[in-house]
C-alpha cells in the first residue's frame, strides 16, 4: 500500500489572502495528481516572515480558527485529501510556529508547534511548543501514524526519537532553510535510526535562504530478502517552484519495522540517565546580572531564586524564601516544567525545604516572601504549615497578565475577601521587572 505525499514547494506571496489562493490552487493540483497528503513549507501563512517588533509580529499572527487555516480545513474535505497547513500562530505571550493536519474529512488530527525554535536568530521572538505528539491519519485506503517536527527540530535526535517511540511511521517536516548535504544527512539519520519515514517540504530557490530540494526518506536502508543496501532517499525535488509527488511504500516500511533491529528494539534506557538529569548533563546556567533590585533583602532572595529557575527553563518567574528570626530557612522556585508536575510551585518547594531543614511540619513564627501573590493551592499550604505572614511582589492580576490562570482559579473559589491581613504586597516594582525579564525568554505557559 503506497501513500502519496504532495510537496507544495511554493514561493509565498506578500498578502495572506494571496497565500490562501496560491495554496488552494496547489492543493487542487496535488489532488488531481492523486495525493493522499499535501504538505506546506514552514509558516506559509506569512511566508516565514518574522518581524522583530513584537507588536508587528502579533499583528500578523493568526489563530487555529482563522480564515486562513479554515480555508484549508474546508478544502481538505472538498478534495478528500489530508492537508498539513503551516502558520504563524497567535499565542501568548509570544506567537508560535505551528502546523495543523486535517484529514480527508476536514477533521483536525494533529496540531504541533515547533519545540526547537531558532532562538539564536529571527525566531527569538517566538515561543517554543510544549512537546511532540502522534496521531492516526485515515487517508481512505488505509491508516498511518503521523507526527511532525519543524525545520530546526531535525537537529535534535530526541525529536524524532520521541515521535518514533510514540508510534510514528511518518514525520511531516515543514522547512525554511537551505537543504544542503548536512541537513539532508540529518533527515536521513532520523529516518534510519528510528525506522520511520521523514517527508520534508521546503520553499523553492528564490525564497531567501532556501533552495527547494523537498525530500522523502522512507526509513528502509535494506531489504532482508535482497542483497546489498538501498538509498532511503526515494525522492529529492529540484529547486524550482512546483507541486511534487512522492510515494511511500507503507507495507515495505512496516515489514522493515517488524523484522529489523533499529528503533527501540535494543535500546538501553537505564543507561541514559544523563539525558534525564541536570539538563542533559550540562551545568546550570548562571543568570546575568539584573538591572533592578528589591528594597527588601528577603524579596531580593526570592527574585534570585526565580531568576535561577527561569534561565534554566524550570518554570514560571516565581521564587520564594521562608524566614524566621531574620534568617532564611527554606528556598524554592517554580519547577513545573522541569518536573512535569503542576504542584511544583515556588512556595511549595520552599515549604518543603524549610520543613526538611527544621525537621518539623510546623513553621509557626515563620514568614514567607514570594515574587508573585500565591495561588489558592500555595496559600492553603502556607496556612497548613502555620506560616505567620506572607509577603508577595506581583499581584494575581499581574500573574494573569503574563499568561497564568491564578485569577480565574481564584474566582472559581470565591476570592480572598476573608483573608485580609495575612497577605502583604511589597517590592512590586522589582518583581514586575522580573516578569518583564521572563517574557523575553523562551518558555512554556501552563
Which residues are identified as catalytic? Answer: 347
C-alpha distances in Å from residue 409, one per residue of 23, 26, 294, 296: 42, 46, 28, 29
SS3 content of the chain, % helix, strand, coil (to 5): 35, 20, 45
Residue whose C-alpha cell is 539525558: 275
Q: Report which of 382, 339, 368, 370 is spatially closest to residue 434, judged by C-alpha positions.
A: 370
List all residues 6 or more positions away from 282 whose beta carbon is below 8 Å from its beta carbon: none
For the chain, the straight-line distance linking the first and the last C-alpha, in angstroms and rounded, comes to 41
Cα distance between residue 100 and residue 394, in whole Å: 36
User: How far is CA 348 from its chain centroid?
Assistant: 26
Pairs from 402-408 (Cβ < 8 Å, separation ≥ 24) = 402/93, 402/317, 402/435, 402/438, 402/439, 402/445, 403/92, 403/93, 403/445, 404/316, 404/445, 404/446, 406/372, 406/373, 406/375, 406/376
| Separation of alpha carbons 29 and 259, rounded Å | 37
Query: Which sign, positive or negative, has the C-alpha torsion 389, 394, 398, 403?
Result: negative
User: What does 107-138 look like in DSSP terms, one character per residue?
Assistant: -EEEEEE-SS--TTTGGGGSPPPS---EEEEE
Check: CB of residue 409 under 8 Å from CB of residue 272.
no
Sheet holding 423-425, edge to edge: 327-333, 319-324, 367-372, 389-394, 423-425
Q: Can you read off the three cell numbers belonging to residue 29? A: 493540483
Amino acid at each position: 500500500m503506497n501513500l502519496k505525499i504532495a510537496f507544495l514547494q511554493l514561493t509565498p506571496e506578500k498578502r495572506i489572502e494571496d497565500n490562501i489562493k496560491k495554496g488552494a490552487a496547489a492543493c487542487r493540483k496535488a489532488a488531481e495528481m492523486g495525493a493522499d497528503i499535501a504538505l506546506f513549507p514552514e509558516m506559509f501563512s506569512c511566508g516565514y516572515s518574522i518581524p522583530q517588533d513584537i507588536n508587528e509580529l502579533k499583528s500578523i499572527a493568526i489563530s487555529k480558527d482563522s480564515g486562513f487555516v479554515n480555508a484549508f480545513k474546508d478544502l481538505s474535505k472538498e478534495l478528500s485529501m489530508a492537508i498539513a497547513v503551516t502558520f504563524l500562530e497567535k499565542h501568548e505571550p509570544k506567537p508560535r510556529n505551528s502546523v495543523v493536519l486535517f484529514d480527508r474529512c476536514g477533521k483536525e488530527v494533529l496540531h504541533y508547534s515547533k519545540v526547537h525554535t531558532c532562538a539564536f536568530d529571527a525566531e527569538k521572538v517566538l515561543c517554543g511548543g510544549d512537546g511532540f505528539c502522534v496521531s492516526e491519519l485515515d487517508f481512505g485506503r488505509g491508516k498511518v501514524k503521523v507526527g511532525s517536527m519543524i525545520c530546526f527540530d531535525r537537529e535534535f535526535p530526541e525529536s524524532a526519537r520521541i515521535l518514533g517511540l510514540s508510534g510514528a511511521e511518518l514525520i511531516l517536516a515543514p522547512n525554511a532553510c537551505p537543504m544542503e548535504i548536512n541537513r539532508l544527512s540529518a533527515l536521513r539519520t532520523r529516518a534510519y535510526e528510528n525506522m520511520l519515514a521523514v517527508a520534508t517540504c521546503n520553499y523553492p530557490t528564490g525564497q531567501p535562504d532556501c533552495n527547494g530540494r523537498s525530500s522523502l526518506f522512507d526509513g528502509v536502508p535494506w531489504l532482508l530478502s535482497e542483497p546489498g543496501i538501498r538509498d532511503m532517499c526515494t525522492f529529492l525535488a529540484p529547486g524550482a517552484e512546483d507541486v511534487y509527488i512522492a510515494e511511500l511504500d507503507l507495507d515495505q516500511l512496516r515489514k522493515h519495522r517488524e523484522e529489523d533491529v533499529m528503533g527501540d528494539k535494543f535500546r538501553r534506557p537505564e543507561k541514559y540517565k544523563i539525558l534525564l538529569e541536570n539538563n542533559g548533563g550540562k551545568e546550570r546556567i548562571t543568570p546575568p546580572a539584573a538591572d533592578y533590585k528589591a528594597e527588601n533583602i528577603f524579596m531580593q532572595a526570592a527574585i534570585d531564586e526565580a531568576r535561577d529557575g527561569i534561565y534554566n527553563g524550570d518554570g514560571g518567574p516565581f521564587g520564594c524564601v521562608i524566614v524566621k528570626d531574620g534568617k532564611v530557612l527554606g528556598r524554592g522556585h517554580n519547577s513545573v516544567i522541569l518536573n512535569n508536575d503542576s504542584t511544583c510551585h515556588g512556595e511549595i518547594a520552599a515549604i518543603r525545604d524549610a520543613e526538611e531543614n527544621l525537621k518539623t511540619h510546623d513553621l509557626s513564627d515563620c514568614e514567607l516572601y514570594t515574587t508573585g501573590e500565591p495561588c489558592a493551592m500555595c496559600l492553603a499550604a502556607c496556612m497548613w504549615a502555620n506560616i505567620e505572614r506572607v509577603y508577595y511582589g506581583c499581584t494575581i492580576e499581574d500573574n494573569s497578565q503574563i499568561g497564568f490562570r491564578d485569577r480565574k482559579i481564584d474566582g472559581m473559589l470565591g476570592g480572598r475577601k476573608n483573608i485580609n491581613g495575612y497577605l502583604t504586597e511589597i517590592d512590586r516594582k522589582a518583581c514586575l521587572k522580573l516578569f518583564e525579564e521572563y517574557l523575553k525568554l523562551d518558555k512554556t505557559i501552563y
